[in-house]
Amino acid sequence: MTQKSLTATLRRLERNGVIERHVVGTRPVAVEYRITPLGKTLRHPVEVLLAWAAEQMPAIHRARDAYDEREEAELGAR
Protein backbone atom coordinates (compact mmCIF):
# COMPACT_ATOMS: atom_id res chain seq x y z
CA MET A 1 0.00 0.00 0.00
CA THR A 2 1.40 3.37 -0.93
CA GLN A 3 1.54 6.28 1.50
CA LYS A 4 -0.99 8.13 -0.68
CA SER A 5 -3.41 5.20 -0.60
CA LEU A 6 -3.01 4.76 3.17
CA THR A 7 -3.60 8.47 3.78
CA ALA A 8 -6.72 8.47 1.59
CA THR A 9 -8.10 5.40 3.40
CA LEU A 10 -7.44 6.85 6.85
CA ARG A 11 -9.09 10.15 5.90
CA ARG A 12 -12.12 8.33 4.53
CA LEU A 13 -12.43 6.30 7.76
CA GLU A 14 -12.05 9.48 9.82
CA ARG A 15 -14.66 11.31 7.72
CA ASN A 16 -17.07 8.40 8.18
CA GLY A 17 -16.60 8.47 11.96
CA VAL A 18 -14.91 5.07 12.19
CA ILE A 19 -11.60 6.42 13.54
CA GLU A 20 -10.35 9.59 15.23
CA ARG A 21 -7.07 11.27 14.38
CA HIS A 22 -4.96 12.75 17.19
CA VAL A 23 -1.79 14.76 16.63
CA VAL A 24 0.79 14.04 19.33
CA GLY A 25 2.88 17.05 20.31
CA THR A 26 6.25 15.34 20.11
CA ARG A 27 9.29 16.09 18.02
CA PRO A 28 8.93 14.99 15.33
CA VAL A 29 5.16 15.38 15.37
CA ALA A 30 3.35 12.05 15.42
CA VAL A 31 -0.21 11.08 14.61
CA GLU A 32 -2.26 8.44 16.41
CA TYR A 33 -5.52 6.93 15.23
CA ARG A 34 -8.13 5.54 17.59
CA ILE A 35 -11.22 3.55 16.83
CA THR A 36 -14.47 5.31 17.69
CA PRO A 37 -17.58 3.80 19.26
CA LEU A 38 -19.04 3.65 15.74
CA GLY A 39 -15.91 1.88 14.52
CA LYS A 40 -16.23 -0.66 17.33
CA THR A 41 -19.61 -1.70 15.93
CA LEU A 42 -17.71 -3.17 12.95
CA ARG A 43 -16.11 -5.84 15.13
CA HIS A 44 -18.88 -8.44 14.79
CA PRO A 45 -19.36 -8.09 11.00
CA VAL A 46 -15.59 -8.32 10.49
CA GLU A 47 -15.40 -11.43 12.69
CA VAL A 48 -18.21 -13.01 10.65
CA LEU A 49 -16.39 -12.18 7.41
CA LEU A 50 -13.13 -13.65 8.73
CA ALA A 51 -14.90 -16.84 9.80
CA TRP A 52 -16.51 -17.13 6.36
CA ALA A 53 -13.14 -16.64 4.66
CA ALA A 54 -11.51 -19.30 6.85
CA GLU A 55 -14.33 -21.76 6.11
CA GLN A 56 -14.25 -21.06 2.37
CA MET A 57 -10.46 -21.00 2.00
CA PRO A 58 -10.25 -24.36 0.18
CA ALA A 59 -12.76 -23.14 -2.42
CA ILE A 60 -10.94 -19.81 -2.68
CA HIS A 61 -7.64 -21.59 -3.34
CA ARG A 62 -9.29 -23.77 -6.01
CA ALA A 63 -10.75 -20.68 -7.69
CA ARG A 64 -7.37 -18.93 -7.63
CA ASP A 65 -5.63 -21.96 -9.09
CA ALA A 66 -8.23 -22.27 -11.86
CA TYR A 67 -7.91 -18.56 -12.65
CA ASP A 68 -4.11 -18.75 -12.76
CA GLU A 69 -4.27 -21.79 -15.08
CA ARG A 70 -6.61 -19.93 -17.46
CA GLU A 71 -4.35 -16.87 -17.45
CA GLU A 72 -1.27 -19.00 -18.19
CA ALA A 73 -3.12 -20.82 -20.98
CA GLU A 74 -4.18 -17.51 -22.54
CA LEU A 75 -0.64 -16.14 -22.36
CA GLY A 76 0.71 -19.31 -23.95
CA ALA A 77 -1.84 -19.09 -26.77
CA ARG A 78 -0.71 -15.59 -27.78
In whole angstroms, give the CA distance from residue 60 to residue 2.
26
Q: Is residue 53 domain-shared with residue 70, that is, in the same domain?
A: yes
Mean pLDDT for 29-41 is 97
Q: Which of 21, 13, 19, 23 is nearest to 36 (CA)?
A: 19
pTM: 0.71
The CB-side HSE value for 56 (13 A sphere, CA atoms) comes to: 9
Q: Is residue 25 domain-shared with residue 44, that is, in the same domain?
A: no
In whole angstroms, give the CA distance from residue 74 to residue 78.
7
Q: Is residue 48 domain-shared with residue 67, that is, in the same domain?
A: yes
pLDDT in tens, 7-24: 999 999 999 999 999 999
* Domain of 15, in residue numbers: 1-35
